[in-house]
Amino acid sequence: MTKKYDVLVVGGGPGGTPVAMALAAAQRRVLLVERGAGLGGTCLFEGCIPSKILYESAQRLRAIRRAAEFGLCLSPGEPHIDWQAIVARKDAVLRQRAQWALDRAQTIPALDVRFGAVALLNQRRALLKPASGEPYEVEFASAIIATGSKSVRPAVLGSGLARMITSEQVFDLEYLPRSLVVVGAGPVGVELSQIFAAFGVRVTLLEAGLSILGQVDEEIARMLEVRMLHQGVSLVLDARVTRICHAGGGAFVQYRDTAGAAHEAYGEYVLEVTGREACTEELGLENTAVRYDRHGIRVNHVLETDEPGLYAVGDVVGQPMFAHWASAQSLVLAHYLLGQPVRFPEPAVNAAVIFSIPEIGIAGLTEGEARKAGHEIEVVRYDFSVDARAQVAGHADGLLKVVYERGTHRVLGVHALGEGIASIMGEAALAVGAGITMEALALIIHPHPTLSESFALAAHLVPTSVFIP
């Protein structure tokens, strides 16, 4: 049996689902194949959503501990942490969101959703192995690969032992460990280190680099390092892990410092979050002209591979690896395939939030990136210690930096550290993406008192005769 479709989409996460739904809504016959148990991908089941559920529990715990500062007298003693209840809430939210995604997809008659594995036989045929039932072949006019990424295991002796876990496993621990060693201080490592430290876990964070969050504005990354130390995270930079040894109910991580001296850190679990690589295995790509490696599938400016009619979106094409970036590529690709005029997303105007404590917001270029790109720049800094909303909320220890072009005053980048920063990064993305000038930003009326007005207040610091600082 062979079924025919206009489009085959492989992967039902933030990259595959939007393009499949958009094309099917336009009456294209679309087959969407997802290997996992539900639609949502890594973001829903192993990344963005479960980590933010734990983050919310950690933030509420921190708020309870600070209640007296706001005149609230709670029962004495440390609040009890019910890890099983946290995990149960996480599971309930994931089920709800996965079911909502499937229900929505099934309202589109032209969209056929199947769970199972698929492998390309050539550029226009594939073998579908459904989760239940017999395998069968499908034909398609074009295909879109959106299989995402997976955690990279470091090439260290002992990596992969029973007490070694990745970010895909950490959300399903049977109990809350007393100690945890985290290897890798990227966004995932930083977020989880702070979350578990808030839960009372003794956390050691080992980073091979000289600072955390290598792609983040250096000043803001350094500020967060100080916060992490105050929160009880034992942060070790320039730590070269050499060996991981199982030790009864835990593991020792051996590492060397800058001077070459040997050290070790113990944890009931070792969380390895040293990076991610594209999921390209068992897709049958070798039966096509597609070029790929562990870093991703090679695509051109319209996300087409070397095989005409075969496209790829999201993490599987490499950096940047964000759910919202995958969705943005996905929707633009849908418009492109429908023959509509489009502008494909550019990394220089991407925005992101790291849910550290406090949060970090990123939009556009850092100072270094802007200079490397040939821009003559200026940077304005707004300290949240003078911000009304930050003071009211008790979180007046943040910073907003706006990078703008010297001659045109066009906003090139926005970088911030502070509680609640996530809620204002949409405006930052708009300012960068639309090329808004600092003068225009200053004239936008923002509600008071909100964190969003920090943009206007920062813009008023720019020396110009157009407005009064």
What one-character-per-residue DSSP string does 348-364 give? GG-EEEE--SSEEEEEE
Burial of 67 (0-12, 13-18, 19+ CB in 10 A): exposed
pLDDT at 218 over 70: yes
> What is the C-alpha to C-alpha distance for residues 185 and 101, in angstroms, rounded to an integer?
32
Q: What is the pLDDT of residue 105?
A: 95
Q: Which long-range contacts (CB under 8 A, 24 or more apart) does 43-50 make?
A: 43/13, 43/14, 43/323, 44/13, 44/94, 44/97, 44/98, 44/101, 45/94, 45/98, 46/167, 46/168, 46/171, 47/167, 47/188, 47/323, 48/323, 49/93, 49/94, 49/97, 50/90, 50/94, 50/171
Non-local CB neighbours of 72 within 8 Å, separated by 6+ positions: none
Structure confidence by residue, pLDDT tens digits, 260-294 = 999 999 999 999 999 899 999 999 999 999 999 98
Q: Do domains 2-150+277-337 and 349-459 have the same CATH topology?
A: no
* Collapsed DSSP state (helix, strand, coil) of residue 299: coil
Structure confidence by residue, pLDDT tens digits, 35-62 = 998 999 989 898 999 999 999 999 999 9
Q: What is the pLDDT of residue 468?
A: 44
> What is the C-alpha to C-alpha distance for residues 341 and 381, in angstroms, rounded to an integer?
38
Q: What is the pLDDT of residue 4?
A: 96
Residue of higher predicted confidence among 207 and 1 = 207
**CATH homologous superfamily, domain 164-274:** FAD/NAD(P)-binding domain (3.50.50.60)
Structure confidence by residue, pLDDT tens digits, 311-337 = 999 999 998 899 999 999 999 999 999
**CATH homologous superfamily, domain 349-459:** FAD/NAD-linked reductase, C-terminal dimerisation domain (3.30.390.30)
- Fold category of 2-150+277-337 in CATH: FAD/NAD(P)-binding domain (3.50.50)
Structure confidence by residue, pLDDT tens digits, 156-196 = 766 667 789 999 899 999 999 999 999 999 999 999 999 99
pLDDT at 467 over 90: no
> What is the C-alpha to C-alpha distance for residues 167 and 141, in angstroms, rounded to an integer?
36
Q: Which long-range contacts (CB under 8 A, 24 or more apart) does 173-179 make?
A: 173/83, 173/87, 173/269, 175/83, 176/81, 176/83, 176/200, 176/201, 177/201, 177/267, 177/268, 177/269, 178/202, 178/268, 179/203, 179/204, 179/250, 179/266, 179/267, 179/268
Domain ranges of the chain: 2-150+277-337, 164-274, 349-459
Q: Can you name the residues that pair with 353 across neighbouring β-strands?
A: 361
Q: What is the pLDDT of residue 56?
A: 96
